């Protein structure tokens, strides 16, 4: 599809990256279920392996179906390129991999998905990396956490589970002043509600599993490159600015310019980490993205109605939805997420832990699953599931206290969802 700035989001979500199949004329992007690709000749093969020519070698690295998805997500986010991988957690490691090294650290928000807190608290230590957790509403604390060994700043645009909205412009200012890339997980917002690159993000990561696909069928992740960061401005990022031994001294930033991070993600990241997205997953994700704007509008409309109803219910202590005027993050919605505050939020239930368990067990339309961003409405008690590995102090900091349940509001009839919540709250109060 020819680049044209007049195309709107609804057009791009259907067409970006896709072209009719040149052999068959197939309109939908085919699933290229193949491991490898035939080279034209020996010179062609050598050029591909030397990164002198772009093409297909082996599906651990590149695949035509996945390539369409990469271009579509990058276009919707306003990035220059993207690398798709096997899951959202894989995307986070892929984003950090070219930046980090033993003894280095990343400054991250305390308001993250529980699995991400665990990944940053424990798993990355095995690489010799460290994460410093900071309340990102406290800009002075973020600045203080950054030191000579910091290589990135990481947050979520709409934080899971509480639906808190991060002041991306302010955080980007802190990162820029320190000469560091800002990595934003945009899973909960999607590029329809928020485009972090427009607010200063260097990289955007996604769990494609969630809203982008939208139907709970596949696992996948993506790292979107803004193309705006100068990787050679300092000696902090040698993977991108210094000679790469595996490619005879090639310097990624010098050779590929603003596409350096994207090329590194494929040529080094996917090659060596092997966190590959399979083409079937890419195909399902592409079909899901075609209706992204339609779904997100309904998700947001339903979330506003359900959250407002819950907030006035006497069986509820509080609701964290940023789209409510009572939210301390309400003033950020118009600036950061102008099309709505998403459909993810938490609710504190009177009666504590046991009442939350009874509520979850009594819901009929809401599915009790460890997922979000489905067309179906979902519920989970984070303290006993996704955030179970955390201390109670960490749970509270992440917005997943024992008396809290997380809702991911789907696209059903809002009145039906409210009726279901009403009957479940009655049972929870018994």
Q: Which of 186, 197, 206, 191 is nearest to 83 (CA)?
A: 206
The structure tokens 């700035």 sit at: 5
Task: Give the DSSP per-residue string, 301-327.
Answer: HHHHHHHHHHHT-TTEEEE--TTSTTS
Helix (DSSP H) and strand (DSSP E) numbers for the chain:
18, 12
Report the pLDDT value the prediction gives residue 4, as an integer from 0 to 100. 52
Low-confidence ranges of the chain (pLDDT < 70): 1-5, 398
Q: Tell me, what DSSP letter sits at residue 348?
A: E
pLDDT tens by residue, 311-364: 999 999 999 999 999 999 999 999 999 999 999 999 999 999 899 999 999 999
What is the spatial distance between Cα 211 and Cα 376, in angstroms, rounded to a whole number?
A: 11
Q: Which of 197, 202, 166, 214 is nearest to 13 (CA)?
A: 214
Query: Rounded to two decimals, what is the model's pTM?
Result: 0.95
Do 132 and 108 meet the contact criterion of CB atoms below 8 Å apart?
Answer: yes
Residue 339: strand, helix, or coil: coil
Report the half-sphere exposure of 18 (CA within 13 A, side-chain side).
24
Report the pLDDT value the prediction gives residue 173, as an integer from 0 to 100. 98
CATH class of the domain at 292-428: alpha beta
What is the CATH number that goes with domain 9-288? 3.40.640.10
Q: Where are the domains of the chain?
A: 9-288, 292-428
Task: Give the DSSP per-residue string, 374-398.
Answer: -SS-EEE-GGGTTTTTS-HHHHHHT
Q: Rg (Cα) of the chain, in Å, rounded?
A: 22
Report the pLDDT value the prediction gives residue 30, as an integer from 0 to 100. 93
């Amino acid at each position: 599809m020819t680049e044209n700035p007049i195309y709107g989001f609804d057009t791009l979500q259907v067409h970006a990256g896709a072209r009719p199949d040149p052999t068959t004329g197939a309109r939908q992007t085919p699933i290229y279920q193949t491991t490898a690709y035939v080279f034209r000749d020996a010179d062609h093969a050598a050029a591909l392996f030397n990164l002198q020519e772009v093409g297909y070698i082996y599906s651990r690295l590149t695949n035509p179906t996945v390539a369409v998805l990469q271009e579509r997500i990058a276009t919707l986010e306003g990035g220059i390129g993207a690398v798709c991988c096997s899951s959202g957690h894989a995307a986070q490691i892929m984003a950090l991999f070219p930046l980090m090294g033993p003894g280095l650290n990343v400054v991250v928000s305390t308001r993250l998905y529980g699995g991400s807190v665990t990944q940053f608290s424990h798993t990355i230590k095995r690489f010799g990396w460290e994460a410093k957790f900071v309340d990102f509403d406290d800009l002075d604390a973020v600045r203080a956490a950054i030191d000579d060994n910091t290589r990135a700043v990481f947050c979520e645009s709409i934080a899971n589970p509480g639906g808190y909205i991060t002041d991306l412009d302010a955080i980007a200012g802190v990162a820029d002043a320190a000469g560091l890339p800002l990595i934003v997980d945009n899973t909960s917002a999607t590029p329809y509600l928020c485009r972090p690159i427009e607010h200063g993000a260097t990289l955007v990561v996604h769990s494609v599993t969630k809203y982008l696909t939208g139907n709970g069928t596949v696992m996948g992740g993506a790292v979107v490159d803004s193309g705006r960061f100068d990787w050679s401005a300092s000696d902090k990022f040698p993977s991108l600015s210094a000679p790469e031994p595996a490619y005879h001294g090639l310097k990624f930033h010098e050779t590929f310019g603003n596409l350096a991070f994207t090329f590194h993600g494929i040529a080094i990241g996917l090659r060596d980490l092997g966190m590959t997205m399979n083409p079937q997953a890419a195909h399902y994700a592409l079909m899901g993205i075609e209706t992204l704007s339609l779904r997100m509008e309904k998700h947001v409309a339903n979330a506003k109605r359900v959250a407002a109803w819950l907030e006035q219910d006497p069986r509820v202590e509080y609701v964290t939805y940023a789209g409510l005027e009572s939210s301390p993050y309400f003033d950020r919605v118009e600036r950061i997420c102008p099309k709505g505050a998403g459909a993810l939020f938490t609710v504190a239930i009177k009666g504590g832990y046991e009442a939350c368990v009874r509520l979850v067990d009594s819901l009929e339309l809401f599915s009790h699953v460890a997922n979000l961003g489905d067309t179906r409405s979902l519920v989970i008690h984070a303290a006993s599931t996704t955030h179970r590995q955390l201390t109670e102090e960490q749970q509270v900091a992440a917005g997943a206290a024992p008396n809290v349940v997380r809702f991911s509001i789907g696209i059903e009839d809002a009145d039906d969802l409210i009726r279901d919540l009403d009957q479940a709250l009655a049972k929870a109060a018994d």
